[in-house]
Amino acid sequence: MNTKLFIAIAGIVLLSACTVTNEKSSLVDRNIQTASLQFEGVLDVIGDTNLNPGSTRNDELDLVPSRSWISGFFPGSLWYMFEHSGDEKWKDAAVHFTMNVEKEKFNGGTHDMGFKMFCSFGNAYRLTGVKNYSDILIQSASTLITRFNPTVGCIRSWDHNTDKWDYPVIIDNMMNLELLFWATRETGDSSYYNIALAHAETTLKNHFREDNSSFHVIAYDTLTGDVVKKNTHQGYAHES
């Protein structure tokens, strides 16, 4: 290839790459600015409360108690704002709304520990190194594994709808395992890791169809560990 032609082509490629990079950077900046305005607006509206923002409904802001599975998302988002900007105002707000969720570390009636505790306290500990956050996360992991049934090989998801399922496990439960893997790295106690691995392997074995799509709910027999039902609870149909 002609040297001048090669240099010209290389220059065009580099210019195009820089343009794409700049466009992406600009898009990220605009989204961060929008998020900042939204979070500031939410904080102005709710003030000092022991409830956390969940979502909006009919243009009204829903506040949820700590037991809600989405209670950790708002403080987690505030921690990300602090991480991005370094602005202490985000950290102060993140600490407040994170601590709103603390009592959930003892809530053994839910599998949603990863959603609630790792989004909030997980980011808090990652960004600050404060030992109290680590202690809360370890307790949360210890509470979560009380829902593990070794015969089934999974952590129980729901305690409701007992007329439908004796031991339901939903695919969403996989997102709570990160907390357990972290707990083993933090403490050196392999029991968290072993339970998380067993849950993942059992899920891999039973939750997926031949086309690699997944069922929502697998119901197990607690005496044998056998699969009893393959259902959906929040979708169009069992096979959808």
Active site residues: 112, 172
User: Which residue type does 80 have?
Assistant: Y
Cα–Cα distance for residue pair 57/19, rounded to 1 Å: 39
How far, rounded to the nearest angstrom, does the alpha carbon of residue 62 sit from its chain's CA centroid? 20
Cα–Cα distance for residue pair 133/161, rounded to 1 Å: 34
Cα–Cα distance for residue pair 29/115, rounded to 1 Å: 27
Cα–Cα distance for residue pair 219/232, rounded to 1 Å: 10
Which residue, chain included where needed, has tokens 């403080």?
75
Q: How many of the other CB atoms lie within 10 Å of CB of 103?
A: 12
Which H or E run includes 52? strand 52-57
List, in order, residues 6 or more apart from 99 with CB less than 8 Å away: none
First vs last C-alpha separation in the chain: 54
